Structure 1
Amino acid sequence: MKILHIGKQGNLERYLPKDSALLNMALVDLPIDQPAETYLKDGADADFIVVDAIAPVPGELIRKMPNLKLIHSEGVAFNQIDLKAAADCGVYVCNAKGMNAAAVAEQAVLLMVGMLRNAIQGDAAVRAGRQIEVKGGYIARGDLLELSDCAVGLIGYGDIAQATARLLRAYGVSKIYYNKRRRLSEAEEQAQGVCYAPVKTLLQKSDIVSLHLPVNAGTVHFADQAFFDAMRPGSYFVNTARGELVDDQALIEALETGKLAMAGLDTLDDEPVGADHPLLNQSEAVEKKIIFSPHIGGITRKSFFRSYRMIDEAVCAVCAGRRPEHVVNGR
């Protein structure tokens, strides 16, 4: 058996369980963004592809690998894999569903608290010798919020959003709104401490809105001008999902006008992000209203160990003639 790995080289040795049978399989370990011919040179006869969540796996590659049985994303995303070509060739495509839920939820809450406490500007103020000035301003205005002061809206309610809701409850947040295509049962809502709301209602009721949607044809620029116009004045926006969900110009306008107090962004459109990205070239007033993190929400060490445990189980299932879990291409 042979594995073609497309991603950060050495990941299989780093993250697979030490007793995994996969470690005894032949391995072709190559970086992302190579032409199909490069992968086919040594990997055309591979039985399995393990691939970085953002790396493309085109039909051209899939159709030229006659032994291929399974393509497994290292992460949750799989939109760069040609699902139809895989299904036509009888190849399972799986993702590591839920592998990074706890990690991304932590990142979402980190950005929420970081905005409410204006952590970046607070750090800069202390370094500039303005600690007491800034502290005194908060005392005089009485406007420093706790997370439990806020109603939080979660748009998309999969594994990550549900993990975020659990953390929010631990912070004492009592008003958590959610939106998803299929509403939970009343018993599930009560158990999870959440309340369903249509998107517009959620935007109007929430002090903090957090995106947890996948990217597809219907969600690109989901957060557009109408979206931000519907939010509460002075509210906060978090995106730990995908940068393509946000219309950057609409976000900039919402920050400029004060419609948004701040935005916390773990991901931007058009990654890898260059110095010329529009969100990085704004006035000082707008720049102070954004907290960036370098798309690290889902790449904790523990997340990768969870992912590779799923990959190990899926490959073993296919080798034993069983259908693996988390199949995303209808095989």
Structure 2
Amino acid sequence: MSKRKPVVIITRKLPEAVETRLRELFDARLNEHDKPLSPAELVEAVKQADILVPTVTDRIDKSILMQAGEQLRMIANFGNGVDNIDVETAALRGITVTNTPGVLTEDTADMTMALILAVSRRIIEGAKIIGKDNTWQGWSPTWMLGRRIYGKRLGIVGMGRIGQAVARRAKAFGLQIHYHNRKPVHASIEDELEATYWDSLGQMLARMDIVSVNCPHTPGTYHLLSAPRLKLMKPEAIIVNTARGEIIDENALARMLKAGEIGGVGLDVFENEPAVNPRLLDSPRAVLLPHMGSATIEGRIDMGEKVIINIKTFVDGHTPPDRVLPSMV
């Protein structure tokens, strides 16, 4: 990298403190209007940038990367997941990829518990009744009955940082912790969480009252919760997803919800974002949020600081701390 400040193109508007620091350190080009870049605009960006800072909604696939200029040496993703980037093609072209792991754990776990409570206790349905039209007729012993979460079994799909943070919160609420993972977590973590490991996802799903999806989206987890697996769940069970929409077969989930074959769903992510399946929108038993699980001021600033550290380390000639290799995806 030459002595001049590297050109850093940021695809979306970031917190002011983060943008200011990027401008101080680099020749940073900001997206002041926060308008998502089109594929053609992304191509133009990779032709100009020394370093690209995309977000998880920017698809940096092979077709984009093959048109990148020779000067593009780094993609510093503003996000934990890198399923939006063709990491293998980037590596073949000598482009370093980084992400922002760890900083979204607590925020996403908070949102997971919020969805579990919202679906189980019908919080959104209740809030809508006391609105502008206020159709509430007063308390009734059999009206708006939800389900208690205390003492229920929670099955966590993916026991990484976020899955473990969810488990700690859920344990405090009196839930029994079960999990499916590529391999069991360390025995000390299992003991702390009093968690039960299931090698078979299907066997776990069939026994759970609540299922939380917390694994990353990879080719191996696409439609991990397929129609046959979803059919294994108890009809009164609920499922929440704060990971990636592609992990669940959304059409199958919508069909089951409409048919009353599942108790309820809480989704912060969708298979074809920002589009949402109309059948989900029509269901009173679906709590739907616009991908806001990590949307806290503190979380966004922490993400920005990670991006800056990764870029500064790379520019200084060292391996960035959050480098992502193809073997890790």
Please indicate the TM-score interval, normalised by the length of the shorter structure: 0.7 to 0.9
CA–CA distance in 2 between the matches of 1:68 and 1:265? 36
Q: Does 1:177 align with 2:178?
A: yes
CA–CA distance in 1 between the matches of 2:98 and 2:118? 35
Distance 1:26 1:12, change over 3 A: farther
Q: Does 1:306 align with 2:302?
A: yes
CA–CA distance in 2 between the matches of 1:12 and 1:24? 16
Distance 1:157 1:29, change over 3 A: same
Distance 1:273 1:172, change over 3 A: same
Partner of 2:58: 55
Partner of 2:135: 128
CA–CA distance in 2 between the matches of 1:125 and 1:45? 52
Greater displacement, 262-271 / 61-70: 61-70
Higher helix share: 1
In the TM superposition, 1:1-331 aligns within 5 A as 1-9=5-13, 11=14, 13-15=16-18, 20=21, 23-30=24-31, 31-36=35-40, 38=41, 44-59=47-62, 61-62=64-65, 64-126=68-130, 127-133=134-140, 136-137=141-142, 144-173=146-175, 175-197=176-198, 198-273=200-275, 277-280=278-281, 282=282, 287-330=283-326
Over the matched positions of the two proteins, sequence identity in percent amounts to: 24
CA–CA distance in 2 between the matches of 1:4 and 1:60? 21
Residues paired across the two proteins, number = 315
Distance 1:123 1:80, change over 3 A: closer
CA–CA distance in 1 between the matches of 2:242 and 2:113? 10
- Do 2:224 and 2:248's aligned partners in 1 also have CA atoms closer than 8 Å? yes
1:129 partner letter: W
2:321 partner letter: E
CA–CA distance in 2 between the matches of 1:254 and 1:232? 11
CA–CA distance in 1 between the matches of 2:30 and 2:206? 49
CA–CA distance in 1 between the matches of 2:274 and 2:45? 28
- Do 1:69 and 1:318's aligned partners in 2 also have CA atoms closer than 8 Å? no
- Do 2:212 and 2:240's aligned partners in 1 also have CA atoms closer than 8 Å? yes
Describe the SS at the equivalent of 2:76. Answer: strand
CA–CA distance in 2 between the matches of 1:100 and 1:131? 40
Deviation of 1:85 (Å): 2.5
Q: 1:202-258 CA deviation, whole Å, 9 max, x = no partner?
A: 212211001112223332222222122211231111111222222233213322343
2:142 partner letter: G
Unaligned runs of 5+ in 1: none
CA–CA distance in 2 between the matches of 1:2 and 1:124? 50
CA–CA distance in 2 between the matches of 1:298 and 1:311? 16
- Do 1:117 and 1:145's aligned partners in 2 also have CA atoms closer than 8 Å? yes
Deviation of 1:12 (Å): 6.2
1:128 partner letter: T
Q: 1:82-117 CA deviation, whole Å, 9 max, x = no partner?
A: 212221222211111122211111111111111121
CA–CA distance in 2 between the matches of 1:28 and 1:43? 12
CA–CA distance in 1 between the matches of 2:168 and 2:300? 22
- Do 2:60 and 2:85's aligned partners in 1 also have CA atoms closer than 8 Å? yes
CA–CA distance in 2 between the matches of 1:49 and 1:85? 15
RMSD of the alignment, in Å? 2.6
Distance 1:202 1:68, change over 3 A: same
Greater displacement, 305-314 / 251-260: 251-260
Deviation of 1:138 (Å): 5.6
Deviation of 1:21 (Å): 6.5
CA–CA distance in 2 between the matches of 1:312 and 1:193? 38
